[in-house]
Amino acid sequence: AFLDGRQWDSSVSRTLYNPGQGLTRRVIACLDVRTNDDGDLVVTKGDQYDVRAKAGTAAQGLVRNLGKPVDMARKYYDQGADEITFLNITSFRNCPLADLPMMEILRKTAETVFVPLTIGGGIRETVDATGSKISALQVATMYFKSGADKVSIGSDAVLAAMEYYRNGKRLSGQTAIETISAAYGIQAVVVSIDPKRVYVHFDSDTAHRVIRTSQIGPSGEEYCWYQCTMKGGRESTDLDVQQLVEAVEAMGAGEILLNCIDKDGSNTGFDLELIREVKRCTKVPVIASSGAGKPAHFTEVFRKTSSDAALGAGMFHRGEYTVKDVKDHLLKDGLLIRQVEEAP
């Protein structure tokens, strides 16, 4: 991490922008990390955020175990991933100061992986075992010292945005986004957004900002709005995605990780309409997430939206495609990527 002088692969910074050619298309590998039913930290993947194996399978009801976090991060780095994102989705994220396993994963990963590392989950104010209050900034600093280059904030960002609007769009200066970006720069703060579609028959049916969609709703609805959720999609809010993006940008978010509950685990491609709508209302970089199932989906999102990066998870974890397969496909389709030299 930048706190201990760790250097990224020089080819990453060297090729993010090429004069005359434009921006390099970033391919990010995402690892959802949690404890499995045996108490081990594993990489898992859900379908619409449900990480337990479906009925009718040998592992029915058990947390899907797709591999060891450090080993998989190194594998994706070797394949050419431009960044690695760890999303800490297990229960111990509720007490980051005791979150020694996740910090150890970051430390070990940082020893051999030289692209930016992002950690999400539990980046918020908490209380330690002695009852002392620990700020979100202190929690983030611990992750930075363990090897992270960026922190990703989810539910806390939604709560902060609600407060922002209640206060007449006035900044408090005390939110996790504001304090961390003030201390480390906006490039260190990612906001992870988990929206889902709410279909309506007419744009006048809701006060929220709607789009006319090509994906008709279950009752023939031609319009929808994107409702922001919290707690891994388990809790809905009255905040639409445009409101959330505008609020967190004002607070100092440097990047948006744009998930989509409807697309998660579908392998049918990204929600292009959602991505276009978010890019329309923000100036900060947007990472497209949820739905990637094959290399062509990455070409599609870069061709049909102005997404700054795209993220893959299950298609990589299951071994269906490698990061290199995706980047080779992008290169074949004429898109600029950071190429990685093959090891001798």
Distance CA 191, CA 306 (A): 18
Q: What are phi and psi of 183, to 5 degrees?
A: -80, -35
Q: At which residue do the structure tokens 């609020």 appear?
A: 247
Q: Which of 82, 99, 194, 240 is catalytic?
A: 194
331-335-341-343 Cα dihedral, nearest 10 degrees:
-50
* DSSP states of 58-124: TTTTSBP--B-HHHHHHHHHHHT-SEEEEEE-SGGGGSGGG-HHHHHHHHHHHHH--S-EEEES--S
Active site (annotated) includes residue 240: no
Q: Which of 32, 240, 262, 271 is catalytic?
A: 32
Closest to 64 measured CA to CA, from 317, 324, 329, 330: 317
Active site (annotated) includes residue 32: yes
* DSSP states of 223-264: EEEEEEEETTTTEEEEEEHHHHHHHHHHHT--EEEE--TTTT
Q: At which residue do the structure tokens 């998989």 appear?
A: 72
Distance CA 143, CA 294 (A): 32
The catalytic site residues sit at 32, 194
